[in-house]
Amino acid sequence: QVQLVESGGGLVQAGGSLRLSCAASGSTFSINTWGWYRQAPGKQRELVARISSRGVTYYVDAVKGRFTISRDNAKNTVYLQMNSLKPEDTAVYYCNAFPTREAYWGQGTQVTVSS
């Protein structure tokens, strides 16, 4: 089993930055690729970025050039650096494996960007 705890969210003005962290514990060796996801009010949860065990990254177009995903395997932690935030980035952010595993969803961390 894997437990995931997201942190680092908050309220920030448009143009600001936040760094999210996802601390993983348990059988993390079973996860090759990690992803950050978000769910805005009234919308479905969506993939934001992912990173493979080799460090290969992927970003959705909406965040390309603004967000950076990284991982520290020694600390079992995945990060999401978010710069130039926009009001449309407002959502609850989650980490999970990619593809997702239902049992791994944590509480997420709220990111609110004011205009």
Inform me whether the pLDDT recorded for 29 exceeds 80: no
Looking at residue 31, what is its pLDDT?
A: 86
Average pLDDT over the chain, rounded to an integer? 96
Decide which of 113 and 1 is more confident. Answer: 113
Which DSSP state fits 54? T
Model confidence at 28, in pLDDT bands (50, 70, 90)? confident
Looking at residue 110, what is its pLDDT?
A: 98
Looking at residue 27, what is its pLDDT?
A: 83
Q: In this structure, are residues 87 and 114 in contact, taking their beta carbons and an 8 Å threshold?
A: yes
- Structure-block tokens of residue 104: 């791994």
Picking from 72, 62, 82, the residue whose alpha carbon sits closest to that of residue 28 is 72
- Structure-block tokens of residue 61: 């177009």
- Mean predicted confidence (pLDDT) in 47-72: 97
Rounded to a whole number of angstroms, the distance between the first and last alpha carbons of the chain is 40
Picking from 112, 48, 35, 39, the residue whose alpha carbon sits closest to that of residue 78 is 35
- Mean predicted confidence (pLDDT) in 33-59: 97
